[in-house]
Amino acid sequence: MTTEVKVPTLGESITEATLGQWLKKVGDTVAVDEPIASLETDKVAVEVPSPVAGTIGALVVAEGDTVEVGALIATIEAGGAGAAPAAPAAKAEAAPAATAAQQAPAVPAKTSDALAPSAKRAAGETGIDPSTVTGTGKDGRVTRIDIEGAAANAKAAPAPVPAQAAAPASTAGGRKEERVRMTRLRQTVAKRLKEAQNTAAMLTTFNDVDMTEVIAARTKYKDLFEKKHGVRLGFMGFFVKAACQALRDIPAVNGSIEGDEIVYRDYADISVAVSAPNGLVVPVIRDAQDLSVAGIEKTIGDFGKRAKDGTLKMDEMKGGTFTISNGGVFGSLMSTPIINPPQSAVLGLHRIEERPVVVKGEIVIRPMMYLALSYDHRLIDGREAVTFLVALKNAIEDPTRLLIDL
């Protein structure tokens, strides 16, 4: 019996997606609920599970195609393991030439590994053949890190160097270009960020913060914290907690404009940027004002793990009231972050750098961080923006304030 696999419901207001990659090929056996494909939506990658146990009969669309909710993407021939090999053979004989052409791009060179777009780009940039790389990802898939690691090893090895040097000789003086289709996530990010620039009266104000006390607290308690809570004590827990207190005192920064009305909130749903295979995603810490530093760190840790696994849900990306983006983990010294509509402000954190500062009339070396608050000037005045950053600065420089609610 042939079972059709269709694009599942992807969430409110999402009507289409891009077929990011096939995780199975024609003839592969699958179990019930085993992922067979990955769909890229506007926000996250969603895996499509097999509705039945059987054998992949046909892959109807190719990687990179846009598919609508409810569209047919594959067929599965149900049956026992013994009958499984015969099913795809019969299907292949009856399949038209067009179907075969559609299936061809979906079969990876190394059949046990389905390459993600980031891994494909890395392979193209480094010239590494994915079939020669041992995958460390889920189900043995080759990841971008695997490709880059293989490239680094190839540069270090003495033998491959002459071969690599010989390749450019055949195209001496030539210049290469590569065109890669934007992922749906990147298209949506580009569109929303440009809309934010066109709509909001965006302005950025800066301050700096002495991280001495937070670093000391983290150094003193990080081992006990991890032992008790099962998660590492980072800096984001302090900043989210401090931001919640500052948002309570300066409600405009946590508000938004809807038509000719301003919406003020007595809760803080904090969006935090975390890394995913296809770029940054921004899940939301709900009711962050009610969480302890430990609760915040646990939530962020869970988001980070599931972002890498591709298991974040779309509902977890919606409804944030304020965003914190930490460019410091990538080495950023200073930036002007862009607001994520309909939010009215975003806080940018940057790298910690030892700098000379004057304390009580003496020049001392302190670990300093620049803070940047981009905000919609239609709603938030400069005085409110500066007051928010000063409140945040005071809480970080004296973490006791977070405990006694000052």
Residues noted as catalytic: 377, 381
Starting at the edge strand found earlier in the chain, the sheet holding 54-59 runs 2-6, 72-78, 54-59, 29-30
